[in-house]
Structure 1
């Protein structure tokens, strides 16, 4: 007498139904991490440019405008400490519609420099 094995019909579909959403979530997180890193680099560059503007004697509004032109939605604070002109910029990175990750960059330049 020969025994028949139960067939595994449908197991591949079930495994695929579990794996595809997990892969999509990992891809979304990876793309979001790259976007956050790119925004951080842009924010750091903009803060450095704004600090140099302040150091050359430009107004705080000119420095703020330089940052907001480079990074949409950035918030900027400026100040002079001793002989340094410093800028701190904040922005948020959206991951989907629910998650917001704050990023920050600071830079200082010698005040009165050319």
Structure 2
């Protein structure tokens, strides 16, 4: 094994770890977006924020929901704090927002 090869291996492992963490972070963002969309539809149907919060707890543990009413449109912001379980990029906090027409209110 040459010295150059011994120097390159840790760098390749680090880059691979960052890429995999980025993919895991993107998956968590997509899940959070789906939670926000589901919660917005649920609130638009007239259900309570607690019901939507239970759904969020099942799909994305640790996610927090907040309702933002804008006239006949109900918006929900779902946020998730950084977590060491997400790997190398775990310190990144995620947030997603979705709106639905409030037909059930």
Q: What TM-score do you get using the length of structure 2 for normalisation?
A: 0.87
Which residue is equivalent to 2:31?
Answer: 42
| Off by >2 Å, runs of 4+ in structure 1 | 92-96
Pick from 52, 62, 81 the counterpart of residue 70 of structure 2: 81
Judging by fraction of residues, say which structure has more helix.
2
TM-score computed with the length of structure 1 as normaliser: 0.81
Q: Aligned pairs, how many?
A: 101
Segments of structure 1 that go 5 or more residues without pairing to the other structure are 1-11
What residue ranges of structure 2 are gaps of 5+ in the alignment? none
- RMSD (Å), alpha carbons: 1.6
Task: Tell me: higher relative CO, structure 1 or 2? Use CA pairs within 8 A at least 6 residues apart.
Answer: 2
Q: Residue 58 of structure 1: SS of its match in structure 2?
A: coil
1:105 Cα offset (Å): 0.4
Looking at structure 2, the residues matched to 61 and 79 of structure 1 have their Cα atoms a distance apart, in angstroms, of: 15
What is the CA-CA distance between 1:99 and the residue it aligns to? 4.5
**Contact 1:95 / 1:101 at 8 angstroms: preserved in 2?**
no
Aligned to 2:101: 110
